[in-house]
Chains A and B, each alone.
Chain A
Amino acid sequence: MSPLLEINDLAVTFATRHGEVTALDSVSLHVNEGETLGIVGESGCGKSITALSVMGLIPQPPGRIKAGSIKLAGEEFVGATPARLRQMRGAEAAMIFQEPMTSLNPVFCVGDQIAEAIMLHQNTSRDRAFKDAIALLDRVGIPEPDKRARDYPHQLSGGMRQRVMIAMAVSCRPKLLIADEPTTALDVTVQAQIFDLLNEVQRDFGAAILLITHDMGAIAEMADRVSVMYAGRVIETATADQVLDTPQHPYARGLIDCIPALGKSETGLKEIRGVVPPLHLLGAGCAFADRCDHAQSRCLREKPKLINHGQHPAACHGVEEGRL
Chain B
Amino acid sequence: MSDTPEFQAESPTLEAWRMFRRNIPAVFGLVLLIVIILATLYGALFYNGDPFDIVWAPHEAPGATPDFPLGTDYLGRDIIAGLLTGGGPTLAVGAAAAALTMFIGISLGALAGYYGGWVDNLLMRFTEFFQVLPALLFAMVLVTLFSPSLWTIAFAIGVVSWPQTTRLTRAEFLKIKELEYVTAARAIGARNKRIIWKVILPNAAPPLIVSATLTIGVAILFEAGLSFLGLGDPNVMSWGLMIGANREYILDAWWPVPFPCLAIFLTVFAVSLVGDGLNDAFNPKLRQR
Contact = CB atoms under 8 A, between A and B. Distances in A.
Interface of A: 55, 57, 86-91, 94-95, 97-99, 102-109, 116-117, 120-121, 152, 154-160, 165, 168-169, 186-187, 190
Nearest to B199: A105
B1 A103 contact: no
B67 interface: no
Contacts of A168: 188
6 contacts: A88-B189, A103-B181, A104-B181, A106-B12, A107-B12, A168-B188
Given A157-B2, A157-B5, 12 more contacts: A55-B187, A86-B191, A89-B188, A91-B189, A103-B183, A105-B203, A106-B12, A116-B190, A154-B9, A157-B1, A157-B3, A168-B188
Contacts of A165: 184
A102 B181 contact: yes
A89 B5 contact: no
B184 A97 contact: yes
Interface in B186-233: 186-191, 198-199, 202-203, 205
B7 to A, nearest CB: 8
A155 B189 contact: no
A104 B190 contact: no
B31 interface: no
A254 B45 CA distance: 86
Contacts of A105: 181, 185, 199, 202-203
A115 to B, nearest CB: 12
B188 A190 contact: no
Contacts of A97: 180, 183-184, 187
Contacts of A160: 3, 5
A156 B5 contact: yes
A57 B180 contact: no
A102 B186 contact: no
Determine the interface band of chain B, counting residues with CB < 8 A from chain A.
Answer: 20 to 34
Contacts of B288: none
A125 to B, nearest CB: 18
Contacts of A157: 1-5
Contacts, number: 84
B48 interface: no
B184 A103 contact: yes
A103 B180 contact: yes
B179 interface: yes
Given A55-B187, A97-B183, A102-B179, A155 B1 contact: no
A87 B203 contact: no
Contacts of A109: 11
Contacts of B180: 97-99, 102-103
A155 B186 contact: no
Contact of B187 (A87, A94, A121): A94
Contacts of B1: 157-159, 186-187, 190
B116 to A, nearest CB: 10
B8 A155 contact: yes
Contact of B189 (A87, A102, A159): A87
A160 B6 CA distance: 13
Contacts of A98: 180
Nearest to A99: B180
A121 B4 CA distance: 32
A120 B188 contact: yes
Contacts of B179: 102
A47 to B, nearest CB: 16
A117 B186 CA distance: 10
B5 A155 contact: yes
A64 B189 CA distance: 21
B18 to A, nearest CB: 14
Nearest to B200: A105
